[in-house]
Amino acid sequence: MATTTPDTGVRDGLTDSGGGETAPMTHRQIMEALSGLLLGMFVAILSSTIVSNALPQIITDLGGGQSAYTWVVTAALLAMTATTPLWGKLADLFSKKLLVQMALVVYVAGSVVAGLSQSTGMLIACRVVQGIGVGGLTALSQIILAAMIAPRERGRYSGYLGATFAVATVGGPLLGGVITDTDWLGWRWCFYVGVPFAIIALIVLQKTLNLPVVKRQVKVDWAGAFFISAAVSLLLIWVTFAGDKYDWMSWQTAVMVLGAVALGGLFVLVESKASEPIIPLRLFRNRTITLASLASLFVGVAMFAGTVFFSQYFQLARNESPTMSGVLTIPMIAGLFVSSTVSGLIITKTGKWKAWLVSGGALAAGGLGLLGTIRYDTEYWHIALFMAVLGLGLGMMMQNLVLCTQNQVAPADLGAASSVVTFFRSLGGAIGVSALGAVMAHRVTDYVKDGLAELGPKAAGAMGQGGSGGGIPDMDKLPAPIRTVMESAYGHGVADVFLYSAPFALLAFVVTLFIKEVALKSNAVTADEKAAEKAAETA
């Protein structure tokens, strides 16, 4: 039995738990409530991007290699991916305000300890804790936004989320680069710097975010949460180490893949019987939700490939500083900022969103394909243009895939449906970073061997461990001919990563073609509309 706790603050701008309408919030009320939410979202994205330009230095100082480089990123993505559905389901059952504040506290705890890390293993463990908090912040931002604003108006405010994502994405690498290049700070402050923002977000949310709390006497589906986390974790461990620790076609591969499939099967079985499943399987009866989730999976690969591997390209292939690495990625972030903001405003006016999804898929695939042609000595203006194309495509797709999904569900399923799309995007990113990181390490090693072979036997001896693939090389300590070989290898290796990502963006484009456009509603879903939708689904 669900009951709504009275709240003297800002009420839900759509519907209460019984399906009745409430007074819509004014723009000022929404922006006040949204301010802390956007700050929390900023913190979440900042934690993911601020380390990107600092990672080469972090891994060198902690004595790690390409595998550790990949796992510092993947660990946070894995935790975010595995916990996103759980956060989403909890948002349907408990106070959204309390949950987002809990996510901020978890993030702060992980960040503080990460800054104290003495080894790559400790850092990776702390990144898992950070990822749990970030999973809550990213999922709950979309859910709370949808709880406050009608679908027709949501495009405008989703554009604000997209703009915040863009600012944090460009600000993170820039800030991380400056901190890393500043002797009296050092890379450890990359983890500390987000803590004040998170504390401010906690205070602002406490003062401005007041939603009606729906209390329900139900059990949380912990078994479902365990099985989906275990399945995703095993899959990522396999993808990360395949081709390095063991062959792609080996008994380890067979055990891990079959284990992941078995755990996935158990998850589906548990979900089909649970009274309050983490991911309600009935949601996938809706064609739009199914296709949007699939498209998000492919978009995740493209999105994280663009944000993770650019730092290695600019620092190792072009010998730029961490700060300049952030500056040089501005064209991609500018494209994302412009397209997410403009598309959100136009969607609010027209109620139409499909054209933006289709166009975004085409641009993202085209941008990645073009980036697959770059080398270490490619003129920068070419790279800037290719990055801008990729950014425009991603900006048109990310928020709007969530938007079209939220438009299809009743308020009771809003959290679960929103987190499903976010989950698949994070899953695509985690698998993409793991697999592409392993591919890149292998390709760079091959290119280094080929380059050294052309220089002759003495070059291999002078190279030392730099060509072994076991660590991130210090370019300044290498002789000029060998340094050129290494720069060329990393330039070509990163280009291969983009080239392998392009087909996934193309698949996202193809999937969006089959999503049926339903004009965004200008008000809440009434009880009659819910009954009609349920009858249509049953039929």
Together in a domain, 267 and 308: no
The last residue of a domain, from among 273, 301, 336: 273
pLDDT at 243: 67
For residue 230, tell me if it sits in a domain.
yes
For residue 280, tell me if it sits in a domain.
yes
Together in a domain, 197 and 235: no
Together in a domain, 379 and 238: no
Q: Which helix (H) or strand (E) holds 4?
A: strand 2-5
Q: In whole angstroms, what is the distance from residue 176 CA to residue 193 CA? A: 9
pLDDT at 472: 64
Per-residue pLDDT of the chain (539 residues; tens, 9 = 90+): 444 443 333 333 443 333 334 455 667 777 777 888 888 888 877 877 788 777 878 888 887 776 777 778 778 877 887 787 778 778 777 788 888 889 999 988 998 888 888 888 889 889 989 989 888 887 788 788 777 777 667 666 766 776 777 677 667 777 887 888 887 888 888 888 888 888 888 888 888 777 665 555 556 677 887 888 888 888 877 876 776 677 778 888 899 999 999 998 998 898 888 777 777 788 888 888 899 999 998 988 877 766 678 878 888 888 888 778 878 888 988 888 888 888 878 887 887 888 899 999 999 999 999 999 999 889 999 999 999 999 899 888 877 887 788 777 777 677 677 778 878 887 887 778 777 877 888 888 889 888 888 876 665 555 544 444 445 666 777 777 888 888 899 999 999 999 999 999 999 999 999 988 877 665 544 443 444 344 444 44
What is the secondary structure of 122-180 as a DSSP string?
A: HHHHHHHHHHHHHHHHHHHHHHHHHHHS-HHHHHHHHHHHHHHHHHHHHHHHHHHHHHH
The last residue of a domain, from among 273, 291, 308: 273
Q: What backbone torsions phi and psi does residue 231 show, to the nearest 5 degrees?
A: -65, -45
Which residue, among 283, 402, 418, 292, has the nearest Cα to 347 in the 3D structure?
402
For residue 532, what are the contacts with CB-CB under 8 A and spacing of at least 6?
none
Together in a domain, 329 and 374: yes
pLDDT at 19: 39
Range of the domain at 261: 222-273
Together in a domain, 316 and 382: yes
Q: In whole angstroms, what is the distance from residue 411 CA to residue 143 CA? A: 10
For residue 2, tell me if it sits in a domain.
no
Q: What is the largest CA-CA distance in the chain?
A: 79
Instruction: State both tokens at 182.
Output: 């500043």
pLDDT at 471: 58
For residue 14, tell me if it sits in a domain.
no
User: Residue 343: how many CB atoms within 10 A of its CB?
Assistant: 27
Together in a domain, 281 and 266: no
Instruction: State both tokens at 201.
Output: 């977000």
Instruction: State both tokens at 313.
Output: 């390209």
Chain Cα centroid distance, residue 306? 11
Answer positive or negative: Cα dihedral of 238, 242, 245, 249: positive
Residue 179 near residue 54, CB atoms below 8 Å: yes
What's the count of helices (H) and strands (E) in the chain, helices before strands?
20, 2
Q: What CATH number should be reported for the domain holding residue 502? A: 1.20.1250.20
Type of residue found at 299: V
Together in a domain, 287 and 404: yes
Helix, strand, coil tally for the chain in percent (to 5):
75, 0, 20
Together in a domain, 158 and 245: no
pLDDT at 2: 43
Together in a domain, 249 and 125: no
Dihedral (Cα; 393, 397, 398, 404), 10-degree rounding: 170
Type of residue found at 511: V
Together in a domain, 393 and 314: yes
For residue 27, tell me if it sits in a domain.
yes
What is the secondary structure of 491-511 as a DSSP string?
A: HHHHHHHHHHHHHHHHHHHHH
Bridge partner residues of 215 (DSSP): 3
Together in a domain, 226 and 153: no
Q: What backbone torsions phi and psi does residue 467 show, to the nearest 5 degrees?
A: -100, 5
Which residue, among 310, 351, 233, has the nearest Cα to 501 in the 3D structure?
310
Give the angle subtended at the CA of 121 by the CAs of 171 and 311, to the nearest 5°: 30
Residue 436 near residue 302, CB atoms below 8 Å: no
pLDDT at 244: 66
For residue 478, tell me if it sits in a domain.
yes
Q: Which residue has the tokens 């296709």?
A: 291
Give the angle subtended at the CA of 131 by the CAs of 422 and 126, to the nearest 5°: 170
Whole-structure pTM value: 0.73
For residue 297, what are the contacts with CB-CB under 8 A and spacing of at least 6?
424, 425, 427, 428
For residue 73, tell me if it sits in a domain.
yes
Instruction: State both tokens at 30.
Output: 């929404």
Q: In whole angstroms, what is the distance from residue 455 CA to residue 445 CA? A: 15
For residue 417, tell me if it sits in a domain.
yes
Which residue, among 334, 398, 439, 456, has the nearest Cα to 142 in the 3D structure?
398
pLDDT at 523: 52
The number of folded domains in the chain is: 2
Instruction: State both tokens at 166.
Output: 């863009």
Q: In whole angstroms, what is the distance from residue 188 CA to residue 515 CA? A: 45
Together in a domain, 351 and 255: no
pLDDT at 530: 45
